[in-house]
Amino acid sequence: GGFYLHIQAKKCIFAQIFSTMNKQYQELQVQEGVYIPQPALQYPEENPFERTLFPKQIKHIDFDEHYPYINDSGKYRFNLLWGYYLVIHGLLRLKLRIQMGLRIRGREVLKKYKSELKHGAITIANHVYRLDCPCVLIAVNGTHHTRIPMFAPNFRTKDGFFMQLAGGVPIPDSTTNMSALKKFNEAFDEFHRRGYWFHIFPEACRWDMYKPLRPFQKGAFTMSYKYNKPILPCVITFRERKGIFRLFGPKSLPLLTVTIGEPLLPDTTQPRKTEVERLRTQAHTQMQQMAGITHNPWPASWGNL
C-alpha cells in the first residue's frame, strides 16, 4: 500500500496514487482538484499501444476485399437509424447518465463553429471506457451519418452487432490483405463524399480509466489532411463517485465527463507530413490542457505510427 503525494509550484499536484502504480502515473502532474481514479489494472509501461483486453471471439467473419465496408442495404440503414436514435441517444444516454453520471461540457463549440463543421468533422477522444464511443456521440449529437474505423477482430465478439449499430467499420489487416485495405480506403472516400462525420480513437486501444494521455497514431490526422476535415478534440475525464451515484456503482468506478474542445483545421497548402505532425501535436497538447494535465508522461507520437 502507501500513497505518493507530490505538490508542485503554482498549485499543480500529483494525484494520490498507490505505490504499485506504474512509472507513468508517478510522473503525471495535474492541476489542483483534478480527480484521478484508482487504476483499473497494472497498465503497460513500455508500449502505449499494447492491448489489455482480449474479448472472446464467437463468430467467423472474413475482413477481406469482399467485406461490405460500404453497406447501403435497407436492413443496415434501418438498424443504424434505430441504433442511433433508440439505443445511443435513448437507452444508453439514460444508462450513462444514471450509472456513470455523464456530463457534457463545451457544446457551445458546436454552435460557434457550425459553418466549419457542417460538411463533417473527425472527432477524436482518449479511449478509456467500454462505452466511451457512445459518450462522445451523445456529446456531439452524433447521427447515423457517422462512421468509425474499429479494430476488426472485435466485430467477431458479442459486441460486434452494437459496433455496427454505431457505424463501425472494421480496419482490415494491411499486412495480410492489401486489397481489403484498398476497399476500406475507398469506402471512406465515399463516406467523405457524402459528408459523413468520422470518429477515431488515436490511442488505438482501450485502457480502462487511464488518466494520462497516451501517444496518438497518425491515422485521424492523415484523414483530416486528405479530406480537409476539421479535427474536433473531445476528452473524457473522471469525477469521484459521490452521493446518489454510490447506489449505481462501486466507489472505485469513477463518474465521467466529456469535454468538447475547439476544432483544429488542416492547412492543405502545407506538405502532408508536416501538417499531419502539427495536427497530432497540437491535438495532444490541447487535450492535455482540457484534461487538467500539466505534465503528461507520454509524448504526442510514438515510433512510426
List per-residue pLDDT tens for the chain, 305 residues long.
Answer: 333 333 333 333 334 444 356 889 999 999 999 999 988 888 999 999 999 999 999 999 999 999 999 999 999 999 999 999 999 999 999 999 999 999 999 999 999 999 999 999 999 999 999 999 999 999 999 999 999 999 999 999 999 999 999 999 999 987 778 999 999 999 999 999 999 999 999 999 999 999 999 999 999 999 999 999 999 999 999 999 999 999 999 999 999 999 999 999 999 999 999 999 999 999 999 999 999 999 999 999 998 88
Q: In whole angstroms, give the CA distance from residue 217 to residue 246.
A: 36
Give the CA distances from residue 152 to residues 48, 137, 155, 157, in Å, rounded to whole numbers and listed in that order.
19, 20, 6, 10
- State the pLDDT at residue 66: 94
Secondary structure (3-state) at 103:
strand
Q: Give residue 246's pLDDT.
A: 95
How much is the pLDDT for 39? Answer: 85
Contact by Cβ (8 Å): 276, 264: no
For residue 132, the model assigns a pLDDT of 97
- Mutual orientation of helices 219-227 and 272-290 as an angle, nearest 10°? 120
pTM above 0.85, yes or no: yes
Which SS3 state, helix, strand or coil, does residue 148 take? strand
**Whole-angstrom distance, CA of residue 254 vs CA of residue 35:** 9
Instruction: Give the model's pLDDT for residue 21.
Output: 65
Cβ 181 vs Cβ 174: under 8 Å: yes
Distance (Å) of CA 235 to CA 24, 195, 230, 245: 19, 24, 16, 22
CA distance 236 to 39: 15
User: Is there a contact between 216 and 242 (Cβ–Cβ < 8 Å)?
Assistant: no
Strand partners, 13: 7, 30
Whole-number pLDDT of residue 6? 37
The predicted pLDDT at position 173 comes to 86
Residue 10 has what pLDDT? Answer: 32
